[in-house]
């Protein structure tokens, strides 16, 4: 922290506000960069797996694996995608979170599985209700 000795409370406020603005700015850049990376990988995954719905094809997709490697940073983007259209994000979600909130009776029903995950996302504050 920069010393404000001898400059008074006004200098402290200016410095605090500068740090706050800098952190907000860099956070926005980081979020935008993550979103762009996710979108690029999502598009590559869709292109790679267009003709296959098999789980093995997903796991052999370098783009899908790269999304998993993004970790929890990818979750808001995945949940946003799921809100727009159900898609097979379940392996990635399980790999990233280590859990599976899909109810037993919903297994195999992509719409119900999607809803179970979205409910979990709201409960854990990854997305707004």
Helices (H) then strands (E): counts for the chain = 6, 0
Q: What is the pLDDT along the chain (129 residues), one digit of tens a residue?
A: 555 555 666 656 656 766 665 556 555 568 889 999 999 999 999 888 766 556 666 667 899 999 999 999 999 999 999 999 999 999 999 999 999 999 999 999 999 999 999 999 999 998 887
Element (H, E) at 65: helix 62-69
Q: What are phi and psi of 109, to 5 degrees?
A: -105, 100
Tally of structural domains, the chain:
1
Tell the burial category of 48 from Cβ atoms under 10 Å away from its Cβ (0-12, 13-18, 19+): middle
96 in a structural domain: yes
Domain that holds residue 101: 9-123
Residue in the structure block whose two tokens are 């797996």? 49
What pTM, to 2 d.p., does this model score?
0.73
User: What pLDDT sits at residue 56?
Assistant: 62
2 in a structural domain: no
128 in a structural domain: no
């Amino acid at each position: 922290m920069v010393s404000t000795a001898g400059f008074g409370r006004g200098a402290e406020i200016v410095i605090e506000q500068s740090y706050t603005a800098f952190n907000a700015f860099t956070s926005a850049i980081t979020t935008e960069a993550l979103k762009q990376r996710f979108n690029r990988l999502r598009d590559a995954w869709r292109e790679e797996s267009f003709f296959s719905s098999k789980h093995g094809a997903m796991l052999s997709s370098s783009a899908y694996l790269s999304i998993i490697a993004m970790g929890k940073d990818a979750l808001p983007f995945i949940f946003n995608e799921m809100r727009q259209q159900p898609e097979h994000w379940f392996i990635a979600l399980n790999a990233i979170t280590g859990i599976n909130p899909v109810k037993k009776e919903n297994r195999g029903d992509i719409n119900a599985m999607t809803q179970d995950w979205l409910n979990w996302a709201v409960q854990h504050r990854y997305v707004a209700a």
